[in-house]
Amino acid sequence: MFGDVYRGKKVLVTGNTGFKGSWLCTWLISLGAEVYGISKDIPTKPSMFEELALADKMTHYMADIRDYNKMEEIINNVSPDFVFHLAAQPIVSFSYAEPLDTISSNVMGTANILEVLRKYTKPCTAVIITSDKCYDNVEWIYGYKETDAVGGKDIYSGSKGAAEVIFKSYYHSFFNKEDFPVKIVTARAGNVIGGGDWALDRIVPDCMRSWSEDKYVEIRSPKATRPWQHVLEPLSGYLQLGEQLYKNHSLNGESFNFGPQAEYSHTVQEILEDMSVRWHFKSSKEAYQITGDIKFHEAGLLKLNCDKALFHFKWKPTLNYKTLLEYTSDWYYEYYKNKPDMFEYTKSQIEGYENLAINQNLAWTK
């Protein structure tokens, strides 16, 4: 997988205790990497990081990315070959309650990582993950391309757009040199679902918490359309991007979108009805109810154009809509109902995903 570039390499993941970070670390461990992580806390309870006992399988540093001196100390101590920067304040609703916390985490945290890498003297490949919400969303029906304007009407979106501006400034000021040892890119992905997400104010975790107790969930925007994708989809993109940047200096300073195909866009109501089947509800009324209590602005439509990743390294999604829902529902159902070894179960889903990609002859499986 991924040209075997991660085997035996030191890979540092910031935000490793989060949902995406935990999946990424599990995948990197299975690829034979020596994995390190930086995170300021365990963000949820339950926590995928804890349920998979990842602290026993990697080296973890408890630190805040807003602490520049600590970031410099840890990164120089680890001496990583790869960096995947995921650490951020990821919840839109929280950005309304704590705007400065969101801005300091998402903007200054990213700037701190870039500043440490600016002074780093060894070869390193860094993938800086932001979000599809970095785009100035005018809710058109077309997918946003990497050259479209960044920005946002809410603090969270603004912070992600600002992180992209900081990245661009750092690249052109410092990293845009053939002989510079560190290469950097940004990756932008949208809403992801999958087992192990317990974040607040996210539709799938809210459902699973309620459904595990045989309760219905309240939803705010049933007609809101999202390009749903399983968490492994953008992670395969991040890992392939890291591989390609490691091999190809011409990608240095670029940004790439990773999203699902257009037909995977469904409303919140549709995805709840499809997922509730696994939980054996007699009717949709037992699974969810609609509330008009919308406390903050939420985009109704946001799509990504992923042609650039397809052109440069032939990346495309692996799972169809039905399979991504099965992967997600099955993980939670196993966790709440059967309680297997969740690290091994998560690895089995990764292996299943890899096998599906092999059958489709996708580029990153070689």
Residue 258 domain flag: yes
Residue 96 domain flag: yes
What is the three-state SS of the chain?
CHHHCCCCCEEEEECCCCHHHHHHHHHHHHCCCEEEEEECCCCCCCCHHHHCCHHHCCEEEECCCCCHHHHHHHHHHHCCCEEEECCCCCCHHHHHHCHHHHHHHHHHHHHHHHHHHHHCCCCEEEEEECCHHHECCCCCCCCECCCCCECCCCHHHHHHHHHHHHHHHHHHHHHCCCCCCEEEEEEEECCEECCCCCCCCCHHHHHHHHHHCCCCEEECCCCCEEECEECHHHHHHHHHHHHHHHHCHHHCCCEEEECCCHHHEEEHHHHHHHHHHHHCCCCHHHHEEECCCCCCCCCCCCCECCHHHHHHHCCCCCCCHHHHHHHHHHHHHHHHHHCCCHHHHHHHHHHHHHHHHHHCCCHHHC
pLDDT of residue 54: 98
Domain extent for 110 = 2-192+228-262+303-321
Residue 211 domain flag: no
pLDDT in tens, the chain (366 residues): 999 999 999 999 999 999 999 999 999 999 999 999 999 999 999 999 999 999 999 999 999 999 999 999 999 999 999 999 999 998 887 889 899 999 999 999 999 999 999 999 999 999 999 999 999 887 777 889 999 999 988 999 999 999 999 999 999 999 999 899 999 999 999 879 999 999 887 888 888 888 888 888 888 778 777 778 999 999 999 999 999 999 999 999 999 999 987 666 788 888 888 888 878 777 777 888 887 655 555 555 678 899 999 999 999 999 998 899 999 999 998 999 888 899 999 999 999 999 999 999 999 998
Q: Which residue type sits at 44?
A: T
| Dist. CA 253–CA 247, nearest whole Å | 14
pLDDT of residue 206: 87
pLDDT of residue 65: 97
Tally of domains within the chain: 1
CATH number where 145 lies: 3.40.50.720
pLDDT of residue 292: 66
Residue 342 domain flag: no
Q: Which residues have a Cβ under 8 Å from the Cβ of 15 and sit 6 or more positions away?
A: 21, 38, 39, 85, 86, 87, 88
Residue 356 domain flag: no
Residue 43 domain flag: yes
Residue 291 domain flag: no
| Dist. CA 324–CA 326, nearest whole Å | 5
pLDDT of residue 267: 83
Residue 202 domain flag: no
pLDDT of residue 262: 67
